Structures are given as C-alpha cells and as structure tokens.
Amino acid sequence: MQTRTPLQKWLWALGNLIVLAALIALVGALIRPLTMFIDHAQRALEYPYVLNYGEGPLLDQTLRLGRGDNLYPVHLDAPPYTITNYPPVYLLAQLPLVEASGVSFTWGRAISLVSMVVSAVMLALIARAITRDWSAALVSGGLLLAVPYVLHWSALARIDGLALALSLIGLWCAAARPGEWLSLTLAVVLLALAAYTRQTYLLAAPLAAFAWLWGARARASAFMLAAWLAAVVLVVFAVMLVLTEGGAFFHMVTANVNALDADILRFYADEMGRAMPILIVAGGVTVLGWLFLLLLRWDYLEDGSAAGWLAAPYALGALAAALTIAKVGSDVNYLLELSAALCLCAGVVVGWLKTVPLIKAAAIVGVIVQVFLMANLSETKYYRIIFDRTTPEQRAGVEQLMARLTAAANDGVIPLADEHMGLLTLIGQPILFQPFEMSQLALARQWDETPFVESLRAGAYPLLLLYQPMANPSLRFERWTPAMLRAINDVFRPDGQYAETIIYRYSGE
C-alpha cells in the first residue's frame, strides 16, 4: 500500500471535511421537501372524502373481499359493472383495519404513507449494502421522499406504495447477504407479495436481485431465486384462475391493456427532464458503469465498486415498466419505481466517488441542486393537488354531494358516480359501475355496453355524479363512452353542481 505524503494526507482530510459539509447542506436542503411531505400526509389523513378516482374502487373491493365476494367475475353482463385491476395483497392488508375501525380512506392512506417511508429506509439500506458507503445511503434514501411523484401518490389510498416497499425489502434481502438460504427465501416471498400487490413489480426488483446474485458469483442462488419466484407466482396465479374460472386473467391482464397515447409519454419525459435532470444523468452513468463492468470486469468486489450489478438492472427494469405510462388514464404511480431506481443510482454514483473526496463533494452539491428542482415542482404542482382538494370550499361542496347521495340511498336509489364514487362506500352503498374501466373495455370491444346504455335511458340509475374539473374538462370523455354521454344528454338534466361535480337527475324526456 502506497504511503501518502503529508500534503496528500492534508488534502485527503480537507476533501473529507468538504464532503461532510456537503452532506450537512444536503440534510438542510431536504428539510423543505420533508416538511411538505409531512404536511401533505397530515392533510390527506384528516380529510375523510375521496382524493383520487382509484381510492373508491379499492375500498369497495376491500369490503367485498370481507364479505367473501368474487372480486374477479368472468362475466360482466349484469351489475355490478366493476373491474378489479390488481391482485389482492393491498386489499388483504387494508381489510383488518377497516373491519376493526370502520369504513374509511384513512387506513389505506396510512398504509401508503408508511410504505413510502419504509421504501426510503430500504433504499438507504440497499445503497449502503452495495456501496459500503453511508453517504450513498443518505443520498438514496433522502431523495426518494423529495420526488414530486412520491410526494403526491404517497398520501393516497392506492396500492403502489405497498408494492414498492415490499419489492425493496425483498431486494435488500437478496443484496445484503448474497447466497444465504434465509435471505433468498425471504427475497422470494417479498418479491412475490410485491407482484401480487401490483403486477408490474414482477420485473425491475426481481431482475436486479438476479443480476446482483450473478455478479456476486452466487449464480446457483440467482437461478434458485428466479425458479422459486416463477414457481410461486405461477402457482398462485393458477389457483386464482381456477377459483375465478378465468376471471382473474380478464381483470388483471385484459382490462389493463388500454389504448396508448404518445403525448402522455412525451409530457412526463419532458417534465422529468426539466425537474429531475441530475437523477437521470446518475441513472445513465450507473448503467454505463455497469456495462463497463460487464465488458471488462466480471468479478464482484467487496469495496462497493460493483454496485452497478444491482442498480443498473433495477433502473432498466423500472424504465421498461414506466413506459406503460403511455396508457390512456395513467398517472404518476407508473413513475414511482423508476423514481426509486434513479434515487438508488444517485447514491451509487456518490458511493463510487468515495476515493476522490473533492469530486464526491461536487456530486453531492449536484444532488442538492436536484433537491431544489424537485421541491419547486412539488410546491407549484403536485403538493397543490391535495391542497386544493381539501380546502374548506371544496370540502363543503363534497359534503353537499354526500347529502344528496345519502338522500338518494334513503329513497332506495343507488346513484352512479365517477371521481366521487368512493363516497358511496362511506354511506354503505356498493359501487355498481366504474366508468373509466368499463368505458375503456367498451371502446376496446371487450365489453358490450348496450345493456348498460339502455338501462341509463330506462332510468335504472336516476342520479348521476359527473366530475367536470376546470383544469381537465375533457376528463369525462375518458370515463364515459360517446353512447353513454348521448344517453345522459338525452334523458338526464343537471340538478346542481358542487365540488366541480355536476349532479344529473333522470328526466325521462
């Protein structure tokens, strides 16, 4: 080992002091997005009504699961016209809380929030395990909760946070002790649970775990992980197919294949390019570094220089999954896993630079700049979404909707709604129709809408609630087919407007 000169020792010590100062500055920069995250979470937990279209169906499905209903019926020729897009793990996690404490969106949102915090912790632990550097852990874990998409989606009663947390815990089990039997078993179980929370989580984390074990020369373990995971997933899916007579395939696969819109992909690519450029560069550097290892260095090194074996495949798999955001009706939840992967890549790049402290400090300064860019997007756009939905004025409007729905239910009428269909679950009524899902199936000729349209014209559903936000007036055309809208225009008349939602009453004209 070469002995450093006094000057080199002094420069090394100075470089490490600068790194420490940069890390302290990073912690300071993270205060702003973390404060927004906490305030955002508090607003969501305190708000009793719907914050997102998808919250209502998931709560309704949880209640149906508790009653023992089949969530994946093979036939949709009679009410309820509903689709269960996802596997049941999130519903099973929420069910005991709902049964013990009552019907509420609070429990689903709490699961999501806790899952996001756990995901940040697991990203930090994974970064530490593969780089052997705690500053890399701080960068990866700290960045996740600052991502605007994570901020927004973490407060919703949706499945994605739990799926991300389970996948990252499974990935950490595979990464922390490569090749150990217990770690491998836990990794398989957790990765399978993630896949049965959201189907797309069957790609990135399993690919990263396999590549890491391969790079660690635990190749028998890599093949065992792949074989066991495939076996578990396929056996469970086969059982679901038998129990639902094939309905599980229709709901979780066929019903998720929506039309594609390249403009959606371009929009989010542009937004990420402007708000997350340094993370994107870190992802590119990590992938290129891994390719360098593939070409020139096949060995696994304990000093953390082989961290790309996990981070790069994870980023590539997450990118492939994120491209499905081009589907009509998609939202930022498609970007959560990619965001986590880019945060991990940023930590890996910092970890790679630990032998050159001054350059490492410069990289951390770049991370600080990235934090400010993301915080600005959060503050101007994504933080505002829930803030605007929970204002006293909006809340008063939703309470008016609740009053109308309750009065209708007391008269024996079960209304239909789109954005606010979750209000029906709060007053003890079932959701009989999911507009977006069924409309997309009708447009794809996977479902005959004729009986439903005829029932609209016949007055089977005398009260309708159609969300018409000023920021997105074309939303109704995604959620209702032209035939449905014609029927509504022909035989329904407006009867009030609250919280950007028009109430239509059947007139029979």
DSSP structural state of residue 390: T
The verdict on 462 and 351 lying in the same domain is: no
Domain end call among 341, 371, 386: 386
pLDDT at 229: 97
- Residue 462 to residue 413: CA distance in whole angstroms: 7
pLDDT at 144: 97
The verdict on 375 and 408 lying in the same domain is: no
pLDDT at 8: 65
pLDDT at 259: 83
**Residue 1 included in any domain:** no
Question: Distances from the Cα of 286 to the Cαs of 119, 229, 253, 342, in angstroms?
Answer: 20, 26, 32, 9
The verdict on 382 and 459 lying in the same domain is: no
**Residue 349 included in any domain:** yes
Q: What pLDDT digit, counting tens, does each position of 325-344 carry?
A: 999 888 999 999 999 999 99
**Residue 128 included in any domain:** yes
**Residue 199 included in any domain:** yes
The verdict on 192 and 176 lying in the same domain is: yes
**Residue 62 included in any domain:** yes
Least confident piece of the model among 18-22, 98-102, 429-433, 444-448: 18-22
Place of tokens 């499945």: 159
The verdict on 412 and 342 lying in the same domain is: no
The verdict on 331 and 372 lying in the same domain is: yes
Q: What is the mean pLDDT of the chain?
A: 92
The verdict on 277 and 372 lying in the same domain is: yes
Q: Is the pLDDT of residue 394 over 90?
A: yes
Domain count, the chain: 2
**Residue 419 included in any domain:** yes
Domain end call among 340, 363, 386: 386
Q: Is the pLDDT of residue 303 over 90?
A: no
Phi and psi angles of residue 442, each rounded to the nearest 5 degrees, phi first: -65, -45
The verdict on 453 and 371 lying in the same domain is: no
Q: How confident is the model at residue 491 (pLDDT cuts 50, 70, 90)?
A: very high
Q: How confident is the model at residue 3 (pLDDT cuts 50, 70, 90)?
A: low
The verdict on 469 and 368 lying in the same domain is: no
Q: How confident is the model at residue 300 (pLDDT cuts 50, 70, 90)?
A: low
Q: Is the pLDDT of residue 83 over 80?
A: yes
The two tokens of residue 464 are: 């309708």
Q: How confident is the model at residue 188 (pLDDT cuts 50, 70, 90)?
A: very high
The two tokens of residue 151 are: 């901020």
pLDDT at 1: 44
Q: Is the pLDDT of residue 376 over 70?
A: yes
Q: HEC profile for 317-349?
A: HHHHHHHHHHECCCCHHHHHHHHHHHHHHHHHH
Containing structural domain, residue 328: 6-386
435 and 54 Cβ atoms separated by less than 8 Å:
no
Those residues whose C-beta lies under 8 Å from the C-beta of residue 383, and which sit 6 or more positions away, are: 36, 40, 151, 152
The verdict on 356 and 502 lying in the same domain is: no
Q: What pLDDT digit, counting tens, does each position of 252-271 carry?
A: 999 888 888 899 999 999 99
The verdict on 414 and 433 lying in the same domain is: yes
**Residue 494 included in any domain:** yes
pLDDT at 304: 61
pLDDT at 276: 97
Q: How confident is the model at residue 6 (pLDDT cuts 50, 70, 90)?
A: confident
Q: How confident is the model at residue 393 (pLDDT cuts 50, 70, 90)?
A: very high
83 and 446 Cβ atoms separated by less than 8 Å:
no
451 against 10, higher pLDDT: 451
**Residue 470 included in any domain:** yes
Q: Is the pLDDT of residue 299 over 60?
A: no
The verdict on 166 and 129 lying in the same domain is: yes
In this prediction the pTM is 0.95
Domain end call among 333, 360, 386: 386
Q: What pLDDT digit, counting tens, does each position of 8-63 carry?
A: 677 777 777 888 898 999 999 999 999 999 999 999 999 999 999 999 999 999 99
